Amino acid sequence: MSKTTSTLMMVGLAAAGLVSGFIFNNWQHEKKLAATKVNATQETPVSNIRPLFKLKDLQGKVRDVKEWDGQVLMINFWATWCPPCRKEMPAFIKVQEKYKDKGFTIVGIALDKKQDVIDFTDPMGMNYPILMAEQEGPVLTKAYGNRLGVLPYTVIIDRKGNIVQRQRNELSFEQVEGMIKPLL
């Protein structure tokens, strides 16, 4: 076997390996997406249309994001082990209280264990729904544009179901108020 033939065979095998790896990776990714109950209406996380989902609240009731159609909606992805997430929650409680009668709702989506979430939220006097997204969480946050998977992650959705703001950091009362007031 000549050196050229040997080199061509190695290049061919390397290319076949790359293609096989690419196909396997895509197959695994699709398999993970199919295993979740998330129904993202758009395939690209850069879409400004709110992806659909159904998740259970802390009482075990299935809640559909469509329940808040026609309202200004703030969805906050968080976890009890995330210090900035914990720090921003009192501000969210105040914002919810101030603007709930103006067609505004916050929905907290916990990427955590249910008992940890209950233990954290019960003493706080939560005045907005907390939904559980243990396994679905990473896929759902990506569907909402959080390609890095950081927490806290918050989106603001207008009354027509369009995502108008995405925030990858802790938010204050004033910041949230500034984002939602023009939409109310």
pLDDT tens digits for range 132-141: 997 889 999 9
The residue among 113, 123, 120, 133 whose CA lies nearest residue 62 is 133
pLDDT at residue 135, rounded to an integer: 81
**Cβ–Cβ under 8 Å, residues 104 and 184:** yes
Of 135 and 166, the one with more pLDDT: 166
pLDDT of 52 above 90:
yes
pLDDT at residue 1, rounded to an integer: 64
**Cβ–Cβ under 8 Å, residues 171 and 79:** no
pLDDT at residue 29, rounded to an integer: 40
Cα(99)–Cα(94) distance, integer angstroms: 9
The residue among 143, 166, 115, 114 whose CA lies nearest residue 37 is 143
Cα(121)–Cα(59) distance, integer angstroms: 13
Least trusted range by pLDDT, from 11-15, 49-53, 96-100, 180-184: 11-15
**Position 165 confidence tier, pLDDT thresholds 50, 70, 90:** very high
pTM over 0.85: no
Cα(76)–Cα(71) distance, integer angstroms: 15
pLDDT of 18 above 60:
no
Amino acid at 111: L
**Position 58 confidence tier, pLDDT thresholds 50, 70, 90:** very high
Its CATH architecture, for the domain 54-183, is: 3-Layer(aba) Sandwich (3.40)
Least trusted range by pLDDT, from 2-16, 118-132, 136-150, 156-170: 2-16
What is residue 162's DSSP assignment?
B
pLDDT at residue 9, rounded to an integer: 57
Please write the tens of the pLDDT for every residue from 71-89.
999 999 999 999 999 999 9
How do the domains of the chain map onto residue ranges?
1-35, 54-183
The residue among 151, 132, 165 whose CA lies nearest residue 86 is 151
Tell me which H or E stretch contains 80. Answer: none
Q: Region 145-164: what's the mean pLDDT? A: 96
Q: Region 51-80: what's the mean pLDDT? A: 96
pLDDT at residue 17, rounded to an integer: 47
Q: Which two tokens stand for residue 183?
A: 């939409």
